[in-house]
Amino acid sequence: MAESKAKRKQRALEIVKLLAKAYPDAECALHQHSAFELLVATILSAQATDEKVNEVTDDLFKTHNRPEHFATEDPAKLEQVLRPTGFFRNKTKSVIGASKMLLEDFGGEVPRTMEELIRLPGVSRKTASVVLGVSFGIAEGVVVDTHVARIAVRLGLSPVQTTKTVSAEKIEKDLMELLPREEWINFSHRIIWHGRRVCTARKPLHDQCVLEALCPKIGTPEQRRL
């Protein structure tokens, strides 16, 4: 028998409390000093690890930290800098395109609404949510990366069988319905930290998990493979 939404919501609130206690200092892992730098770093993070992105941007942002720095950059030169992050040609187009649009349509400043942000090349709802939440403290959605998606399913917060058959948007919608809006930003940071340290993809450390008592996926071998 499927768990009712009311029960999932109550369990979600308990999970929020436990995560807050376990990871009180959880924050975005991408290195950045401004909304624009975070925008660029988040665009580069698609299909790349935060560590790899940080390796690239730690040097890049020393000379390129405003839209005008990228808008006039030679694409071929920037491609070589972004190559380690993968999909570097598309990312180069996105970063340059987003920088030009910021200068032309937003006075060189990163906008503070979801609707405006997703107009920028290379900016998805996830990217916009990261920027809004981290840089401006605006909760417009729940950031769903691979860690959040996997663990949301494991915890039964999104009533789907596997992340392979459902979109991140569906999981985000489920989480937004369960979690208090004031927890949307921190919840993602804390789940990501938990996913990297304990609830890993290949071998979750069940004996170290603060959420073990609330996890319905600790059972059959099939459930453990989620």
How far lies 118's CA from each of 108, 111, 122, 129, in Å? 16, 10, 8, 10
Q: Provide the whole-model pTM.
A: 0.91
217 catalytic per annotation: no
Does position 226 have pLDDT exceeding 80, yes or no?
no
Does position 195 have pLDDT exceeding 90, yes or no?
yes
pLDDT confidence bin for 1, thresholds 50/70/90: low
- Burial per residue of 83-104, b for 16 or more beta-carbon CB atoms within 10 angstroms, e otherwise: eebeebebbbebbbbbbbbbbe
How much is the pLDDT for 221?
46
> How far is 155 from 87, CA to CA, in rounded Å?
32
**Active-site position among 50, 91, 126, 174:** 126
Does position 220 have pLDDT exceeding 50, yes or no?
no
User: Over the stretch 133-153, which tens digit does the pLDDT of each residue have?
Assistant: 999 999 999 999 999 999 999
Residues present in the chain in total: 226
> How far is 165 from 60, CA to CA, in rounded Å?
37
Question: What single string gives the DSSP state of each residue in 21-36?
Answer: HH-TT----S--SSHH
Instruction: List strand residue ranges (DSSP E) for 30-124, in order.
Output: none
Cβ atoms of 203 and 158 closer than 8 Å? no
Cβ atoms of 22 and 190 closer than 8 Å? yes
Does position 225 have pLDDT exceeding 90, yes or no?
no
- 134: its two tokens: 């981290």
> How far is 3 from 167, CA to CA, in rounded Å?
21
Q: Which of 53, 39, 50, 98 shows the shortest CA–CA distance to 73?
A: 98
pLDDT confidence bin for 171, thresholds 50/70/90: very high
How much is the pLDDT for 192?
96
Does position 25 have pLDDT exceeding 70, yes or no?
yes
110 CB neighbour count, 10 Å cutoff: 22
Does position 223 have pLDDT exceeding 80, yes or no?
no
**Active-site position among 145, 170, 174, 203:** 145
5 catalytic per annotation: no
How much is the pLDDT for 162?
59
DSSP state at residue 179: S
**Mean pLDDT, residues 34-41:** 98
Counting Cα atoms < 13 Å in the Cβ hemisphere of 194 gives: 29
> Residue ranges of the alpha helices (H) in 106-141?
114-117, 125-136
**Mean pLDDT, residues 85-98:** 98
Could you give the percent of the chain with pLDDT greater than 70?
A: 92
75 CB neighbour count, 10 Å cutoff: 11
